[in-house]
Structure 1
Amino acid sequence: MKMFEMLQKFISPKVSGLIKVLSIGVLLSLSACDEEDEGLKIQPHDENKMMSIMHAMMDKMHTMQMNEDPDIVFARMMIMHHQGAINMSDEVLTSGDNAAIKAIATKIKTDQQKEIQDLQSFINSYQPDQSPDSKFNMELMDSMEKSDRQSDLQVITGDTDHDFAQLMIVHHQSAIENARAVQEHGTSTFIKNMAHMMVDAQMMEIKELQTWLLANSNMSGGH
Structure 2
Amino acid sequence: MKSPFYLAVSICLLISIASCSKDSGIKLQAHDNNRMMDSVHVMMSRMDTTKMTNDPDIDFAAMMRMHHQGAISMANLEIQQGKNDSLKRIAQKTIEEQQKEIQDLSRILAGLSVDNSDPEFTMEQKANMGKMDTTADIQLITGDIDNDFATLMIVHHQSATDNASAYLHHGHYPDLLDMAKSMVKSQTMEINELASWLIANKRKP
TM superposition score normalised by structure 1: 0.80
Identity %: 49
Deviation at 1:130, TM superposition (A): 1.3
Is 2:158 the counterpart of 1:173? yes
Q: 1:124 aligns with which of 79, 89, 110?
A: 110
Deviation per CA, 1:73-116: give whole Å up to 9, x if none: 10000010000000000000001010000000000110000000
Is 2:73 the counterpart of 1:79? no
Amino acid at match of 2:135: Q
CA contact (8 A) 2:58 2:113 kept: no
Give SS of 1:217's match. Answer: coil
Report the counterpart of residue 126 of structure 2 in structure 1: 141
Report the counterpart of residue 27 of structure 2 in structure 1: 41
Deviation at 1:217, TM superposition (A): 2.0
Report the counterpart of residue 16 of structure 2 in structure 1: none
Give SS of 2:78's match. Answer: helix
Deviation per CA, 1:8-29: give whole Å up to 9, x if none: xxxxxxxxxxxxxxxxxxxxxx
Which structure would you say has the larger RCO, counting Cα contacts within 8 Å and 6 or more residues apart? 2
Amino acid at match of 1:216: N
Deviation at 1:38, TM superposition (A): 5.4
Q: 1:210 aligns with which of 181, 192, 195?
A: 195
Report the counterpart of residue 187 of structure 1 in structure 2: 172
CA distance change for structure 1 residues 58 and 36 in 2, over 3 Å: closer, same or farther?
Answer: closer
CA distance in structure 2 between the partners assigned to 1:56 and 1:76 by the alignment: 16
Runs (5+) with no aligned partner, structure 1: 1-32
TM superposition score normalised by structure 2: 0.87
Is 2:168 the counterpart of 1:198? no
Report the counterpart of residue 97 of structure 1 in structure 2: 83
Deviation per CA, 1:163-193: give whole Å up to 9, x if none: 0000000000000010011111111111111
Amino acid at match of 1:97: K
Cα root mean square deviation, aligned: 1.6
Deviation per CA, 1:194-222: give whole Å up to 9, x if none: 0000000000000110110011122xx18
Runs (5+) with no aligned partner, structure 2: 1-18
CA distance change for structure 1 residues 64 and 127 in 2, over 3 Å: closer, same or farther?
Answer: closer
CA distance in structure 1 between the partners assigned to 2:51 and 2:101 by the alignment: 21
Report the counterpart of residue 22 of structure 1 in structure 2: none
Report the counterpart of residue 157 of structure 1 in structure 2: 142
Please say which structure displays the higher CA radius of gyration. Answer: 1
CA distance in structure 2 between the partners assigned to 1:36 and 1:202 by the alignment: 31
Report the counterpart of residue 88 of structure 1 in structure 2: 74
